[in-house]
Structure 1
Amino acid sequence: MTATDYRAAVIQGLRDLATFPEANPAVPIPRHDVTFLYFPTRGTDAEMIAEIDRIATLLGVTPDPSDTIYGHHKARLAFGPVGYEALAVLAARHAQHQADTSYSGYVTPAAVDAA
């Protein structure tokens, strides 16, 4: 599938998704915001920031500086509770996440009584 074909398929899928809950009102919808999320190709922080800034310009928004303290650089365009978000996870945060999950599968929590 070409990039153009894939883009068209994603757009059609979003349209189909939008009409589905309208045609099926008994199907529950999320109680939280819905985000269409794009991650840039992994690169240096400067490269990823530049990509998010480029996308922010296309969206007509300014990247949210408050996310920097969490190690993210993002731009978001909201359509009510639905949004398009471009998000870069910067190197220090990515490394911290890798360290935090490095024991995954090796540590088993004690059984919890579900009473």
Structure 2
Amino acid sequence: MPTDPTRRAAFITGLRDLADFIEANPGIPVPRQSTAITYFPEQATDAEMCAEVDRIAGLCGARIDPAPLPYGHYMITLPFGPLRYEIAAILADARARYGALSSYHGCVTPDSDPAHAA
């Protein structure tokens, strides 16, 4: 699905403004590790989301990255030096696993007694 032209223009302007800011301020740090900008298709069926990733892959001349497939991530990665532009569909099974795992958030409190830290 194409991005709204106004949103697209604002995103591109923001990237350029960030690059100009970093270049004009050599004293500020940049990330040591690779940094990703990720686009997620709208949540739909797995087949529909994969079709959208495939469509974008065709536009970019990219291939599906097999490494994250076992984790339920159907994606392409476009490297730009230390930056990556990713298009990722998180498949239903992976979303369900994450939902189950995060359902415990706030229910378990680790023991903060320093005597048990060793």
Q: Which residue of 1 aligns with 2:7?
A: 6
Equivalent pair of 1:37/1:86 in contact (CA under 8 Å) = yes
Aligned residue in 1 for 2:55 = 54
Give CA deviations for 1:11-47 in whole Å, capped at 9, x if unaligned. 1000011111111011111011111110010111111
Measured after TM superposition, the shift of residue 102 of structure 1 is 0.3
Q: Percent identity?
A: 51
Q: 1: distance between equivalents of 2:18 and 2:61? A: 25
In the comparison of the two structures, how many residue pairs are matched? 114
What is the one-letter code of the residue matched to 2:55?
R
* CA RMSD across the alignment: 1.8
- Report the TM-score when normalising by structure 2: 0.89
Gaps of 5+ in 2: none
1:66 equivalent to 2:70? Answer no
The aligned counterpart of 1:104 is 105
Query: SS of 1:87's equivalent?
Result: strand
Tell me the residue number matched to 1:19. Answer: 20
CA distance in 1, matches of 2:60, 2:20: 24
Give the alignment of 1:34-45 within 5 angstroms: 34-45=35-46
The answer to whether the 8 Å contact 1:56/1:76 transfers is no
TM, length-normalised to structure 1: 0.91
**Whole-angstrom CA distance in 1 between matches of 2:65 and 2:29:** 31
Divergent runs of 4+, >3 A: 112-115
Segment drifting more, 103-112 vs 89-98: 103-112
Measured against aligned partners, the alpha-carbon deviations of 1:28-79 in whole angstroms (never above 9, x if no partner) come to 1101111111001011111111111111111111011221111110011111
Q: Secondary structure at the match of 1:66?
A: coil
Aligned residue identity for 1:60: G
- Matches for 1:71-90 after TM superposition, within 5 Å: 71-90=72-91
